[in-house]
Amino acid sequence: MNKTSKIPVPTIERLALYSRPLENLLDNGVLVISSVKLADLCGVNPAQVRKDLAYFGEFGTRGVGYDVQDLLKEIKRILATDREWALCIVGIGNLGNALVENENFRKRGYKFLAAFDSDPRKVNRVLYCGLTIKPASKITQLVRELHIEIGVIATPPFEAQKVTNLLIDSGVKAILNFAPVQVRAPEGCLVENVDFTVRLENLAYHIREPL
């Protein structure tokens, strides 16, 4: 197989999923894991695990399983999390603040190099992580100077699209949007919209009394 051309999108999502328990296993000194056990830890089918991995190569040993350390390294290579990524965040409200201070991002190589807000009362405030909040008017200049690749949006909804356009014009390649609107990007720029209430509505649908 080994054709990068037709990798299912869900496969990529699951690779990220697999890497979480693998990190734990590595920390706990587990050397080898089978597709059955890994699948169980992630709540998926074992054949799925094997097939997902097989898209990228043969990482296992028949009769044995997968070397935890090797497998984790391969997954990180595939997902490009074996390097650092330069991020910026726009909108330092409660959520924006929680995101920029989140150790979890940093630990995985996602580093916030700039934080922006359009509220003059917030500009120049120094965040716990050490960043100084810059005015939104500096977005283009700083994104270019710092070679920022991914923009994170945590503004109120009515500003999200404007900020998206600005970030894209400034050269970011992808956007992670937490504002509760579907922002649109031109061909070639990637956007992920994360809307917590969509997740809640999904839960609510499934636990509600049937119609």
Distance of CA 53 to the CA centre of its chain: 20
- From the list a copy of itself, DNA, none, partner contacted by residue 81 (C-beta under 5 to 8 A by kind): a copy of itself
Among 95, 113, 123, 142, binds a copy of itself (CB under 8 A): 95
What is the three-class DSSP state of 122?
coil
Q: Phi/psi at 84 (nearest 5 deg)?
A: -100, 150
Stretch that binds DNA, among 40-48, 72-80, 129-137, 157-165 (CB under 7 A): 40-48
Residue 153 near residue 175 (C-beta atoms within 8 A): yes
Span interacting with a copy of itself, options 8-16, 117-125, 132-140, 161-169, rule CB under 8 A: 8-16
Token code pair at residue 138: 């500096």
Among DNA, a copy of itself, none, partner that 202 touches (CB below 5 to 8 angstroms by kind): a copy of itself
Residue number with CB closer to a copy of itself (29 or 63): 29
66 sits near DNA (criterion: CB under 7 A): yes
Task: Say whether residue 181 binds DNA (CB under 7 A).
Answer: no
Among 48, 81, 165, 170, binds a copy of itself (CB under 8 A): 81
Among residues 85, 49, 55, the alpha carbon closest in space to that of 174 is found at 85
Q: Which of 59, 101, 105, 193 binds DNA (CB under 7 A)?
A: 59
- Please name the amino acid found at residue 192: E
What is the spatial distance between Cα 108 and Cα 185, in angstroms, rounded to a whole number?
26
DSSP codes of every residue in 69-113: HHHHHHHHHHHT-SS-EEEEEE--SHHHHHHHH-HHHHHTTEEEE
Task: Give, in degrees to the nearest 5, the angle at Cα 131 between 129 and 135.
Answer: 145
Tell me which residues in 161-200 interact with a copy of itself (CB under 8 A). 173-174, 176, 180-182, 184, 190, 192, 194-200
Picking from 115, 156, 164, the residue whose alpha carbon sits closest to that of residue 136 is 115
Identify whether the C-beta of residue 116 lies closer than 8 Å to the C-beta of residue 155.
no
Instruction: By CB under 7 A, name the binding residues for DNA.
Output: 1, 8-11, 33-36, 44-48, 50-51, 53-54, 58-66
Instruction: By CB under 8 A, name the binding residues for a copy of itself.
Output: 4, 12-13, 15-17, 19-21, 41-43, 56, 77-81, 85, 93-95, 97-99, 101-102, 104-105, 108, 110, 149-150, 173-174, 176, 180-182, 184, 190, 192, 194-211
